[in-house]
Structure formats: C-alpha cells, structure tokens
Amino acid sequence: MIPYGKHLVDEADVQSVVDVLRNQFLTQGTVVPRFEQALCDYTGARHAVAVNSATSGLHIACLAAGVSSGDVVWTVPNSFVASANCARFCGAEVDFVDIDPLTRNLAISELKNKLAEAQKNNRLPKALIVVHFAGLSCDMQQIQQLTQPFNIALIEDAAHALGGDYLGRKIGCCQFSDMTVLSFHPVKSITSAEGGAVLTNDAEMASKLTLFAKHGTTRDPNMMQGVNEGPWYYQQIELGYNYRLSDLHAALGLSQLQKLDEFIAKRRFLALRYRKKLQDLPLILPCEESYHTSAWHLYMVELTKHDRLRTYQGLHDKGIGVNVHYIPIHLQPYYQHLGFQQGDFPNAEHYYNHALTLPLFPSLTETEQDSVIETLQEVLS
Ligand SMILES: *Cc1c(COP(=O)(O)O)cnc(C)c1O
C-alpha cells in the first residue's frame, strides 16, 4: 500500500536522537533552544516557542491573544479539528468563515461580509485563525488589512505550510500576523515525532507563550511579585500547562530541519509531475499559484464526474492509499451539538464531498507515482 503521506528519517536523524540519549538531559537541555533558534533563522521570525504539538501551540496562541470565555474565535471549516478546538479550550465560542473554491483557503469576500455583519451585531471575533491548506499560504496581506482595524488577533495555523513562501518570504515570518503555529507530526513538512512551535515577532507575546507552555511559572526576577527568595526560587504567575517539547524530540526536529528545503523541492517536483500527467482526467487539480510557493503538504484533486466513495475504494483495492481532507469541522457531531448544521458553509461541504488526497511525500519514487497515476486512470475510465 502506498500511503498518502510518510516521514523520511535518515541515519543523521537517528544519530542526533541517540546523541541526546547519551547526554545528561533528555528534556530541558540545550537542544530545544537550538531548535527554536534554527526555526527563527529559517522562517525569519524573531521568537520561537517549541511545544509538544501544534494543538498545544494553537491553545497557547489563543491564550496569549487573550481569548477567554465570552469571546468568539473564527477559523475555517476546511481543516483539522484542532484549528477550532483551541478556542473551545479557552471557553470561547467558535464560528467559521467559508473557503474559496479555488484555493480552498479562507475566502476573502466571505471574511469581508462576515466582518461587516459582526460589526453591526457587536460580535466581532477576538481572534481569527487562518489555515494554509495543503501548504498554500492564505492572502495574509489582505486578511490583515481587514482584521487590523478591529484589533482582531491574527493567528496562522501553518501546520501544513513550513517551507512554503508568501510574497517572497518564508511562511512563519509573521509579517502579516501576530503568531504562526507549526506542526512536526510525521506527515508534516518535517517531523519531531510529536511536536510543534509558535512563532512571533512580538517579545511580550513570546514571553506569554513560554509562560503558558511551562505551568505559568517563571524564574525571571523581573516577572515576579515581591522578593526573589534564592537561586531555587520560581513563581507561578499564571495558570499554565506542561506543553514543553523534550530535547529528544527537538534533536529529531533540528536534524530534519537541515533537510526541509530538499523535502519541499521534492514535493514540488512531484506536484508538477502530477499536474502534467493528470490534466486530461475529469479532475480539478490544485490551483496554478500553488505549484511554486506551496509547501505541498497534500496533493488534493476534486472529482468532477465520479463517485468519491467508489473511487476511493477502487484505489484502495489496488494498493493506493488515498485519503480525504477535510471533513468540515462544523459537521462533526461535537460542533453540530453547538448548533452548526449541513448547509452552513457550502463551499467547504462541496469540496469535502468531491475531494481525494493522492500520495505525496519526499520519498515517493517516480515509479510509485506513475503507478498512482495509472491506477487512477484505470479507476476513472
Ligand atoms: C496536523 C494539524 C494540526 C495538529 O497538529 P498536531 O501537531 O498533531 O497537534 C493542526 N492544524 C492542522 C491544519 C493540521 O493539519
């Protein structure tokens, strides 16, 4: 079975993890800070806070943005549930902005209308979480222009997008946002097994993020109340979590980061190859602008004439592990219980009903890709 996504771990990765195992520290040593610095160097962001998953990262990003009960947070329905759950962790309500049928990212026109309506009803969101679906950046400049006048915190869920570009800079540089969240789950651009990071250019935000990721405790005398009682002393000044990344995980992430550009180049090469070889099939392929800037987390196609379930099954029967991204978040039973229903976000629903994700990962060979293409041709004929 050819899976839809797969990590690529080499001997250098193994060695860097083994080195940490022989060190004095398995966690809270020197590797996490080095990984954080390397993420800053790569993306151009000023601060990085490594965490144990993107889900944790999204949670503390919401907390650092001041999201709490009584607030509303907006995101898109075409994403993994974590993009919305993070707001619920903070006791906030969630609402969604439908997607653009072409990019499958947040639709600017929908955002514009929804903001105008929310302003009228005095129900503007505290934060907007945008998702760079499949690794293609949202139009951050335009989104920021729309949200800034209302003081809405802008958070990028870039779980798909490390290694991608936007307006000539790396995704993660936070040029048009307050924070960017990364995932290092094995199917993403690089892996630390489990892991994630929050990037920001704002020192105060970075310090809040660190606090929330480490039990709300600090050893910085400048942040303490009263006297510092000695070298052992720390204070808990917030309610925080244990969301730290371990040095073991960071060692894998740091070693993987050296290969990120290679991984993305291979993903782009394969995506272009898919485009050339699939263009005569009854499919909608990813939009043109994605081929040279996307991080290509997913290669997704939209069926125009065929039944999705039958196509999915036909491919699986022949060893091609296609997948589907995403079941719209608002249609999950948990969110339906909160009042959402079928028909609320028609673009995301239409896309979901016709979408298939084809195998795409750095170690996919051209021979394997050709067999995916030939099998798809057969199943659709
Ligand atoms: C994978 C993913 C997450 C969650 O990442 P974890 O590191 O597994 O917590 C969040 N958002 C999106 C869009 C994702 O694809």
How do the domains of the chain map onto residue ranges? 2-257, 260-380
Return the pLDDT at 32: 98
Is the CB of 55 within 6 Å of ligand 1? Answer: yes
Pick from 52, 79, 83, 183 the residue to mutate for probing ligand 1's pocket: most ligand atoms within 8 Å of its CB. 183
In terms of Cα–Cα distance, which of 169, 173, 116 is closest to 146?
116
Return the pLDDT at 289: 87
What is the CA(82)–ligand 1 centre distance, in A? 6
Which residue ranges of the chain lie beneath pLDDT 50?
none
Q: How far is CA 116 from CA 129, 144, 165, in A?
A: 18, 15, 30
Could you tell me if 122 and 146 are in contact, meaning their C-beta atoms sit under 8 angstroms apart? no
What is the CA(134)–ligand 1 centre distance, in A? 12
∠ CA 93-94-95, nearest 5°, is 130
Task: Give dist(CA 378, CA 381) in Å, integer.
Answer: 5
Task: Give dist(CA 79, CA 376) in Å, integer.
Answer: 25
Task: Give dist(CA 348, CA 336) in Å, integer.
Answer: 15
Task: Give dist(CA 313, CA 68) in Å, integer.
Answer: 43
Is the CB of 183 within 6 Å of ligand 1? Answer: yes
For residue 294, which amino acid is it? S
Kindly report the backbone phi and psi dihedral angles of residue 253, in degrees, each rounded to the nearest multiple of 5, phi listed first: -60, -45
Is the CB of 357 within 6 Å of ligand 1? Answer: no
Pick from 83, 133, 249 the residue to mutate for probing ligand 1's pocket: most ligand atoms within 8 Å of its CB. 83
Return the pLDDT at 303: 98
Nearest CA to ligand 1 atom 15: 159
Task: Give dist(CA 147, CA 155) in Å, integer.
Answer: 11
Atom from ligand 1 closest to the CA of residue 133: 13
Nearest CA to ligand 1 atom 10: 82
Fold classification of 2-257 is Aspartate Aminotransferase; domain 2 (3.40.640)
Pick from 58, 79, 80, 132 the residue to mutate for probing ligand 1's pocket: most ligand atoms within 8 Å of its CB. 80
Atom from ligand 1 closest to the CA of residue 183: 7
Q: Taking each helix axis from N to C terminus, what angle separates 31-43 and 247-257, rounded to the nearest 10 degrees? A: 30
Domain 260-380, what architecture? Answer: Alpha-Beta Complex (3.90)
The two beta strands, 93-96 and 72-75, are: parallel
Name the CA radius of gyration of the chain, rounded.
Answer: 21
Is the CB of 103 within 6 Å of ligand 1? Answer: no
